[in-house]
Amino acid sequence: MEQKLCTFFDRLEIFDPELRKRLRELLQLIYLQRGECLYRQGDTLSDYFLKLEGGLARSYFIMEDGKETTVCFDNSRNGCLTCDIPQQGAAWIANTTLEAMTSFYIVAIPVAEVDELGRQYPEVFGATYRLSRESLRFYQESLRMRTNVPARERVIWFNRRFPEFNGLAKEWQIASYLGIHQVTLCNIRAQLRNESEPQAAAQNVPTAQSIG
């Protein structure tokens, strides 16, 4: 586990030995099993939650009518699993529920302590800045693809961006994330399969040169 934590800090570009020691004393490792929820909508949160070395997760919220809507799929290597982090280390209420789609380890670090360390170590500010920038970039990309393009292009984007979730997430979960009906998703997937089959067959047809 120590080696995994060293790799974790390397990815965050945190190299100062004293800073690593202090973070190691503060953090808590949480093993999240598939189907288990890290937190639920309405819970009070006060920690940063980071992936130790990858894993698949889904965030969703419950509408007033009781329907469940997927708002995020996460296949990042060590992305931050909390959104809307308040300033000055204050606690906040979770707007969504985070569910593990595979089993993986979470690194939990209190926001207040991270903020305090950020005043002492520029590396901490740099790490939190990069994580926030990556989250914002992904949010902008997903928002554009889920709202400004036709349904077919949304499905193609999802297949390319989140291939690990095909066969893992349920169709209605993917459809709600893409903002389309489940029937529409099924029809588009069928069309894409039909289009890919002739191409795959053509690639397998032996040429005269290969035969000879």
Domains in the chain: boundaries = 2-123
Both tokens of residue 74? Answer: 């996460």
Task: Find the DSSP H helices in the chain.
Answer: 2-11, 17-26, 111-120, 122-147, 151-161, 171-178, 182-204, 208-211
Average pLDDT over every residue of 76-100: 72
CA atoms within 13 A on the CB side of 13: 11
- The span from the CA of 97 to the CA of 69, in Å, is 10
Query: In the CATH hierarchy, which fold is given to the domain comprising 2-123?
Result: Jelly Rolls (2.60.120)
pLDDT digits (tens, 9 = 90+) for 1-10: 889 999 999 9
Q: Residue 190: pLDDT above 90? A: yes
pLDDT band of 204, cuts 50, 70, 90: low
The secondary structure of 124-162 as a DSSP string is: HHHHHHHHHHHHHHHHHHHHHHHHSS-HHHHHHHHHHH-
pTM of this structure: 0.82
Q: Residue 167: pLDDT above 90? A: no
pLDDT digits (tens, 9 = 90+) for 31-77: 999 999 999 999 999 998 999 988 999 999 998 888 999 999 998 87
Which range is least confidently modeled, 23-37, 112-126, 179-193? Answer: 112-126
